C-alpha cells in the first residue's frame, strides 16, 4: 500500500507519532477498495461512512490524550457470519433470516469497537463458512490477490484476501476445520486459531458447535497478538468460553526462540500425496532456521493423526446438519450446490458415529497432551501446495489437497499459520505452529521470532499489481 504502513503494528506507531491520522488511513484503504475490490471480491458489505466516523472519533481521542490500545484508529474487516449492529449479516446465503443479528454486535465486534478499531465492512465467506465459491448465487466470488484466477482459501476468504491486498490491516476470521489458517496460507499472511474457548463465539452463525473458533488474521504474528489481546477473555453469552486469565500477548514477544522445545512433525505431513516438493523444501528450511536460532528441536509423530482428522469430519458433519436440517428439508434450492452437499452429509452420520467420534476425541486429547508434555510447540506445514485455481473447485478435489489444519480443531489447540516461502509459480507457502491449551503467547512468540528474521509475510501480492497500477 503506497503512502501508508504495511502492518498493523507500523500503522499504530504512525498514528501515535502523529505522522498519520486515522481518517487519512481509512480514506486510503477505502480508495484502495474502490480500485481493487471489483476484481478481488473481498467485501460483501462496505461500511465507508461508518468507518470514517469511527476514524474521526479515534483521532479525537488521540488529540485528547486517550489511548485505547494498539487497535485504536486501525481499519479492520469482519467476516460476514459475525453479527455487527450497523451492517447486515448474511453468512453469504439466501437462507439466513435477515433479522439474524440485526442491531447487535457480537462480543468480539463490541471489543474491537471499545478498543477504538475502525470496522470497514463485512468480508466474503463461503456460504455458512463451508462449501466452495458459487457464481450462481447473488454474492461476490472472492479471488486471490496473488493470482486472480486462484482461490484465496475458505471460508474466511475475504478476510485473508483483504489483509493481503491492503484493504485493511487486520480481520476477524472463523475456523472450524482450517478456515482461518488456509486463507492465511494461500494469501501469504498470518492467521491464528486460538484455543477453543479462548475467544467468545456468540453472535457468530455456527457451523460446528464444538469446533468453531473466532480468531485474528493480519500480516504478522505481532499484529495477531495485538488483536488477540482485545478479543480474548470470558463472556457470559458463550457457555463454552473460558474464564482463564488473558496474558499480555505483545509482551511475550521476545524475539528469541532460544531454549524453546519444538517438535517437528514430518511423518504425517511431508509424504502426503500431491505435496509440492518446493513446499517440502521450504518447510525443511524453516525447521533448520529454528535449530540455528537456538530452539531445541526434535522429531515427533502425532498419534492417531488420520483418525483425528476423520473424527473432526464426522463431528463437523453431524453438528452442521443439526443446525441446517429444517432448512435443508424446505429450502434445498436456496442453498448453494456445494453447501447443500456439505451440510447434508451429516444425515448419514448416525448418533452412534457421532458418539464414537466424541469418545475418540477424549482419547486423542489425552494421548496428544502426553506427547506434547515435554515440548512447547509443534511445527508442521499448513499446506504443501499453493492456492488452487478457482476453475474446477469442488469437494472431491479438496479431499486430495495436502492440507493439515483439521486435527487442531478437534483437539481445540491453538494453531498459528505463517508464511514460509513461495512455490515455483510465486504463490505463498505456509507452516503451522501448534501449542498447548491457552499457550497462545508461546505460539505467537515462536511465530514472531521467525518473522523478525524473514520477510515472507511482508511480500506484496503480484496478482493485483496491474490492477493497482
Which residue numbers are catalytic?
A: 79, 155, 179
Q: How many CB atoms lie within 10 A of CB 56?
A: 16
298 forms bridges with which residues in the sheet?
263
Reduced to 3 states, what is the DSSP secondary structure of residue 415? strand
Cell of 227: 488483536
First to last CA, the chain: 11
Q: How far apart are CA 180 and CA 133, in angstroms?
A: 16
Q: What angle do CA 1, 14, 459 make, to 5 degrees?
A: 30
Task: Give 202's Cβ-side CA count (13 Å radius).
Answer: 16
3-state SS assignment for residue 120:
strand
Helix/strand/coil for 374: coil
Neighbours of 72 (CB within 10 A): 21
The Cα 71–Cα 440 span in angstroms is 19
Q: Which three cell numbers stand for residue 145?
A: 490477490
In degrees to the nearest 10, what's the CA dihedral of 191, 196, 197, 201?
Answer: 60
In angstroms, the CA 157 to CA 175 distance is 11
Phi and psi dihedrals of 213, rounded to 5? -135, 145
CB 116 within 8 A of CB 131: no
Residue 334 CB neighbour total at 10 angstroms: 13
Q: Which three cell numbers stand for residue 256?
A: 528469541
- CB-based contacts of 195, cutoff 8 Å, min separation 6: 242, 412, 413, 414, 437, 438, 439, 440
* Nearest C-alpha neighbor of 447 from the set 222, 276, 263, 296: 222
140 closest CA partner among 30, 46, 40: 40
Helical ranges in 136-269 per DSSP H:
157-165, 181-187, 221-231
- Residue 43 phi/psi, 5-degree rounding, is -100, 140
Amino acid at each position: 500500500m503506497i503512502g501508508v504502513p504495511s502492518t498493523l503494528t507500523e500503522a499504530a506507531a504512525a498514528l501515535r507519532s502523529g505522522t498519520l491520522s486515522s481518517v487519512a488511513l481509512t480514506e486510503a484503504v477505502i480508495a484502495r477498495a474502490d480500485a481493487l475490490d471489483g476484481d478481488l471480491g473481498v467485501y460483501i458489505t462496505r461500511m465507508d461512512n461508518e468507518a470514517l466516523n469511527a476514524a474521526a472519533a479515534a483521532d479525537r481521542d488521540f488529540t485528547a490524550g486517550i489511548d485505547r490500545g494498539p487497535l485504536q484508529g486501525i481499519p479492520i474487516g469482519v467476516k460476514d457470519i459475525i453479527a455487527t449492529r450497523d451492517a447486515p449479516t448474511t453468512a453469504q446465503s439466501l437462507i439466513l433470516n435477515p433479522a439474524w443479528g440485526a442491531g447487535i454486535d457480537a462480543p468480539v465486534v463490541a471489543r474491537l469497537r471499545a478498543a477504538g478499531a475502525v470496522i470497514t465492512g463485512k468480508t466474503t465467506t463461503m456460504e455458512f463458512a463451508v462449501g466452495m465459491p458459487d457464481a450462481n448465487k447473488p454474492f461476490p466470488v472472492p479471488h486471490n490477490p496473488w493470482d486472480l484466477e486462484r482461490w484465496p482459501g475458505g471460508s474466511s476468504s475475504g478476510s485473508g484476501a483483504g489483509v493481503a491486498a491492503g484493504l485493511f490491516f487486520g480481520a476477524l476470521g472463523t475456523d472450524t476445520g482450517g478456515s482461518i489458517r488456509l486463507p492465511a496460507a494461500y494469501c501469504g499472511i498470518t492467521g491464528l486459531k486460538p484455543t477453543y474457548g479462548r475467544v467468545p463465539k456468540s453472535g457468530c452463525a455456527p457451523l460446528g458447535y464444538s469446533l468453531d473458533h473466532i480468531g485474528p488474521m493480519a500480516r504478522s504474528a505481532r499484529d495477531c497478538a495485538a488483536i488477540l489481546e482485545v478479543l480474548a477473555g470470558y463472556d457470559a453469552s458463550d457457555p463454552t468460553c473460558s474464564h482463564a486469565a488473558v496474558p499480555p500477548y505483545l509482551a511475550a514477544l521476545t524475539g528469541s526462540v532460544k531454549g524453546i522445545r519444538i517438535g517437528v512433525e514430518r511423518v504425517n505431513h511431508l509424504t502426503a500425496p500431491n505435496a509440492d516438493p518446493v513446499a517440502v523444501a521450504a518447510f525443511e528450511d524453516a525447521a533448520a532456521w529454528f535449530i540455528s536460532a537456538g530452539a531445541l528441536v526434535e522429531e515427533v509423530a502425532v498419534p492417531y493423526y488420520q483418525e483425528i482428522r476423520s473424527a473432526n469430519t464426522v463431528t463437523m458433519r453431524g453438528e452442521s446438519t443439526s443446525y441446517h436440517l429444517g432448512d435443508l428439508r424446505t429450502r434445498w434450492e436456496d442453498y448453494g450446490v456445494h453447501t447443500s452437499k456439505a451440510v447434508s452429509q451429516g444425515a448419514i452420520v448416525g448418533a452412534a458415529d457421532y458418539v464414537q467420534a466424541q469418545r475418540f476425541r477424549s482419547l486423542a486429547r489425552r494421548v496428544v497432551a502426553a506427547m506434547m508434555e515435554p515440548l512447547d510447540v509443534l511445527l508442521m506445514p499448513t499446506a504443501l501446495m499453493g492456492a488452487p485455481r478457482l476453475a474446477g473447485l469442488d469437494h472431491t478435489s479438496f479431499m486430495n489437497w495436502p492440507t493439515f489444519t483439521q486435527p487442531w480443531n478437534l483437539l481445540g489447540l491453538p494453531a498459528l499459520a505463517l508464511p514460509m516461502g513461495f512455490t515455483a509459480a510465486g504463490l505463498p507457502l505456509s507452516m503451522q505452529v501448534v501449542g498447548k491449551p491457552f499457550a497462545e503467547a508461546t505460539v505467537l512468540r515462536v511465530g514472531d521470532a521467525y518473522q523478525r528474521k524473514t520477510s515472507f509475510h511482508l511480500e506484496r501480492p503480484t496478482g493485483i499489481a496491474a490492477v493497482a497500477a
